[in-house]
Amino acid sequence: MISKFWNGKMLGLFGAGILILNSLVRKIINFFYSKVHVNNLCSENDVIIRSGFKCMYPKNIILQKGVFINSNVNISSEICKSKLVVCENVSLSTNCKIDYTGSLVIGKNSLLSENVSIQTHDHGINPRSEPIPKSLKIGENVWIGMNALILSNVREIGDNSIIGAGSVVTKPVPSNCIVAGNPATIIRYLNGSSID
């Protein structure tokens, strides 16, 4: 049987069968990787996880006491050796997308609002190139506003900082400050000093 190609896609019965089989295998793999059982996650008491939570490599995720994960949170990694530590009393709001390819620590009492996206890896121009992991530490008592995007070059977000809603954070954030904008810049320090 001869397979035809048009715009990079296979045509014909054989091609359609391959595409359907490929899709089915991906769904089965994603189902098993994202299945959350109490035994899969390394979690302590008082952890609340709402419906729609998906994660990859659950044995690499540590959820400490009092963590709250709202609905439709997606936690993923491009490699199986990375670690995610979510410290005590952290809240992950609806539709958060967290990539922990470069390893990620979220400090105590932090809040990630709705639709926050965190990236801890880069890759070359070719999207199929190997991921380049970059670690991130989010300090204690950090508030990340809704729709904020934390990119892979951010190595640290300091304690007691606030990321404004819709901000695109491209570099490290010091402790005790408010940042906002695209790209995010320091608006003011929380200890009363000016930004000059």
What is the DSSP track for the chain? ---EEETTEEESHHHHHHHHHHHHHHHHHHHHHH---TTTSEE-TT-EE-TT-EESSGGGEEE-TT-EE-TT-EEE-SSTT--EEE-TT-EE-TT-EEE-TT-EEE-TT-EE-TT-EE--EE--SSTTSPPEE--EEE-TT-EE-TT-EE-TT--EE-TT-EE-TT-EE-S-B-SSEEEETTTTEEEEETTS----
> How confident is the model over 138-152, as pLDDT tens digits?
999 999 999 999 999
Each residue's pLDDT tens digit, 59-77: 899 999 999 999 999 999 9
| Residue 5 confidence (pLDDT) | 46
| pTM, to two decimals | 0.77
Under CATH, which number does the domain 37-189 receive?
2.160.10.10
Catalytic residue among 83, 123, 137, 155: 123
Q: Would you say residue 38 has pLDDT above 50? A: no
| 37 catalytically annotated | no
Domain ranges (residues) in the chain: 37-189
